[in-house]
Structure 1
């Protein structure tokens, strides 16, 4: 009898071990019936004593999470219409895979690694030609997570491999040939010996094309060079690190000094190296170096020589690069179509490099006597947010040449209406013009010419709330109003993401309605005013919303309850500095899909009991940010750690007496990568930074305040003892008279802004910087 297709539809899988058990068993021990509903309580040794195991499992979950069952149960096989199917698998491997499918922990040893690997290959079917091997540190300091996944299926989590066994498996890998594996992710594996890992990649993954090594500070350009020589098929490399916190336009540097003398790269390629690169068919097309503040101009020159086929480069936050260095890379890499340079020194020289013809700066023999157009003409992605070194004239010239652009970020730049009017492209899908002085008319002009626009970000654009009155711009604007702009967007686009502020109101929501029925993300910033009516209608107009971020809006229990009750797909919810009378009633609706919650100065009434209720209704959070919850105390730490043990990010600021008695329970959240504790009580010990870095293996970012130090000061870990920690920020309250850290000489002056000590670690330097942040 065919079964239904509901989420609760069960199917019985009868698994027989192809190798009969050589054990003394009675007839009653031959078969056993179990169910995935009580999978955590399975007694595996007892179950494995049976020759045949019948398992009741959810049909849809098997289909969605296994390519094998997807083909068997949703294809043309006769089994697709049955309530009971029979398979022959290794029982232990089959039960382990079921654990993975149902997100349960799995103990992996060197003894069962091979059977699992073989079973994953079988379950992936012969049609699967690509797979991913992910090696990442789990919340336990002595564990490594192996994940093998086939294309289009969820990962098989082979978890909790004991650290002592890890060397056994790594030694075992070179004897195996993962022919199908094209992507390997070693991100967040600080203990991995990269030189040995590269040898392993060369032997075990002959088809390797994509390597993700984010947050590995020891992965230098020289390591990249060795990688591409050993693995010539690699075409994509991701070496992302955390972006430095001192590059924002909201801070100014007071003093800065390197704790370790920078070791500026001095790499060179000889003729033999170049010949071997070309002969190997080297084809790195996508290179991500975001946040690498240890990257210098000499590194770019080196990269431009051995990455001859580079098409995509991400240099966001690479603060040590100069405009001349970036321009040099742009001149050499003539195949580039995607350039991401936000928060860098990208300036006039780089603009000239993009706008000039390739034949002007590339040898004729290198381009095979073919006259190429400028890079700007062929650009598909340009992100240059906060690049204030580009003047209006250069920006206008650049905009006039880009005709194939799909994604453009010009936030916090000197963008003018003239530059928008000079744009001739019609393929834009993403536009970010936040915090610029553009007018309604200019934005409407650009939107009207790009009907495929899916993402529009224009927060902080004050001119969007005013009618144009400048006579020099009147020929362009015709006194466009906000309503006319929003009408144009509503007529032209089908948006998936929007971020607006000034000029955005309830009437705007009505005008935008045709364009936002499929909206997934919305951010309303300062100057926007949706009002209770707008927020109440939001779930009806935008039923697909996954992200809502509201700044300075008027909210109430009624509006929040409506959002929580009707937007079941919501993943991110943030209320920041909002007004209105709300209570814990707003958060009593179950939100199992919610992953990120930010409540900043909107819940001053929150108590420990309220926080517990929050853990019940939003049980699957990975990021939590609370600001101004002054009634919380030290017991809230245990509520947080027990309610959300898998938190990756915790931000607690001005939250009563949370840290008055020190920090203990929060350190039980072993997956923590980002920890901010400020103004929560002076109970942090001098050794807190070292203790946190020691107990939290994934911890990368820590933000503290001197006023919370029990002894008025913190011990700073040595460079070699910092574990995975890459960024440390220690703020100083305005009430404090001076910094007590001996290696910083703060100037004696009246403090207008908040003074913050920032330590930024990378592979070669430790920079200790004092900045002034605007409050």
Structure 2
């Protein structure tokens, strides 16, 4: 391959060199170069393979003046600059010796391209090459730069860094200063589509005002949440208050106009009344506040279609995360409406381009069933959310279970993480529906906040051991006998007092891959129910079971001792304890579990060699279990409010 390329280059060189074209000598100097420096004389055949600063050339020997023998007509054919220089009435038109002051590597690369050598473009040399191509009128290089930008900015797998982001900003600034349309278009598109990634870097505050403003107005602006966008703007304003560019606008208020593009109705109330009101009270006018509070208390049933644009979530085909945490005003109606492509509402006539389609979307759940939704998808009226990986609707109590499941199933079945903290309207039964709507689901958080409750003042008064329904029509029975394939590995049910033993076993039947489980505060679970779950999920390596009935049966399950064969649940469904090595647990939290027998705990501690985090706070822990611990990987230990002596504590550490 290398030899054939070398032969091709030599052949092209000989053909060019043997033509009858006039030879002209170009003396190329670096700007402000001293005349008493190294110089090199190049013939035409040497142009193809010659490189500045070759690997075996000392830096001191790098030439700063080169004399290149080139063909006059070839230069005129590929460069408008030389076409005017040699073809006009200038004195250089008849001269065979031309002096050019330009960056040597850049000019040599342009000259090599003119002679058929491919450009080696990168974001490091992009601006110098494009600047040289514009000055010398090498239009083919300009086209190469455009095509290269299209190719390298279209990939979603771009690896960002501070240096890379700075280079992109430099390219955009060059395009803005020189009015290069394709740079302004392509690079603004790229910044808008990757806005959520860009604002994670310190260089984000270096974005020019015009670029930031263009991104915020861009239809493909991709952010995780409206709060993320607002915080990014506030950080940019705070960092650019003293910049000359910031103060070069007509008034300071003009720069704050970008904040007006934030959709206040999609911000969490605590954020509006917190940072936004504290730092920029003028941005939250009395009118905006009154409208916002009215919207939050409204059920949205009477909102006009054109008003819904104020609540359109910034969902694009590039969205990877949707974070609505704390947005109590958002409903399923807004979620479905935001899935329509921008522009379906005709604000001039307050009518809809496709009124029936929109009415079906913002109507009741039943209208999404049947063939209507596929028709909408095929007509390209709906935004594709195939890249969406995470959805967070924590504290969004207006969402109904059926609405969120329908939306996930219809629009974003690729979601892997679903978080709905403090959403008591969503029951544990949603797990089954989630696994069907999103087959790739890996992490679910259905926890409820119980942090204000003091652990030492909580106790389980009564827990009954529930038997599973015996009738075969039960959903639990179907799951237990015909498990649905599920990839769920992380599950948090913290504080869910409504979950019972049969729910936990249904979850175990749903997925045997659960490795992280949090059932803190699930006071309705029994010791036997927890033990059955532990026996089924052999991949568990992190367990949080504080303030539960975790006791000797659960310890036995961890120790792989089948001493609870009289368990009615297990007998009825013919479950058997699988061998589960206690050493697989890396993290264990049993805070407030006072039903743990010391003898069982001693046996477990003797086998728990892989534990790195252990919490036994507010338990009846004595010194004996600590003496029995044989592990050497422990990094965190919490034994507050226990009977362990300080002497043993010190020796243990």
With normalisation by structure 1, the TM-score equals 0.39
Could you say which structure has the larger radius of gyration?
Answer: 2
Structure number with the bigger relative contact order (C-alpha 8 A, sep ≥ 6) is: 1
With normalisation by structure 2, the TM-score equals 0.45
Higher strand share: 1
Higher helix share: 2
